[in-house]
Amino acid sequence: MLNDPMVLILMYFVLPVWLIAGFADWLCHRATHIESTTGAKESLIHLLMFAEIGVPLLAAMFLEVNALIIAAMMIVFVIHEATAIWDVRYATTARTVSPIEQHVHSFLEMIPLMGLVSVVSLHWAQFLALFGFWPERARFGLAWKEQQLPVAYVATVMTVILLFELLPYVEEFFRGLRANSGRMVPPKARGNKIGETAMR
């Protein structure tokens, strides 16, 4: 499958763009002093969204994609979108979400959908079987990929995720706690209405 253009697009375009957008979003948070505006609570929401996307990403990288994996990806995508709405609703209680950050969010919301559609197109029979529309039986077991991704690629992706996604957002979370004496919500965000910074 490594010769399939769609697989190569997923590996070398979709995933890198998602990683770049994730780091760009962290830079936007830092520029708006998230630690003193919405604090650790928003950072915790960011870590939650990271986990929501990370689990299906790891499944697609290491497991055989079948009806179970596709169903999980679809459910997680909906949950991720709901969490993203919660994130922005809370962020706008005390922090200005700039046009640049909004544009970055558009990538962070649509790249998972692009990835999901790409995976579905690669495993169309199992997608249809999930809904009973294909002679092939839907498979719901967990099994390692017969043809694993190249070790160098996996090592590079995992290193980039650790250094430019996970650690920055963990740092953001603890920076918010330190700035507010261990409190999750800074005084600036308490008592404000949703969308307060967007109604100027």
Place of tokens 């390692």: 144
Q: Which of 65-69, 162-166, 195-199 has the lowest mean pLDDT?
A: 195-199
Residue 143: pLDDT band (50, 70, 90) is: very high
| Percentage of residues in the chain having pLDDT higher than 90 | 88
- The pTM of the full predicted model, rounded to 2 decimals, is 0.91
Residues whose CB falls within 8 Å of the CB of residue 5, separated by 6 or more in sequence, listed in order: none
Q: Is 160 a residue whose pLDDT tops 50?
A: yes
Average pLDDT of the residues in 57-76: 97
Q: Is 69 a residue whose pLDDT tops 80?
A: yes
Question: Terminus-to-terminus CA distance in the chain, angstroms?
Answer: 52
Q: Is 199 a residue whose pLDDT tops 50?
A: no
Average pLDDT of the residues in 171-180: 97
* DSSP class of 133: -
156/133 Cα distance (integer angstroms): 38
Q: How confident is the model at residue 200, as a pLDDT? A: 41
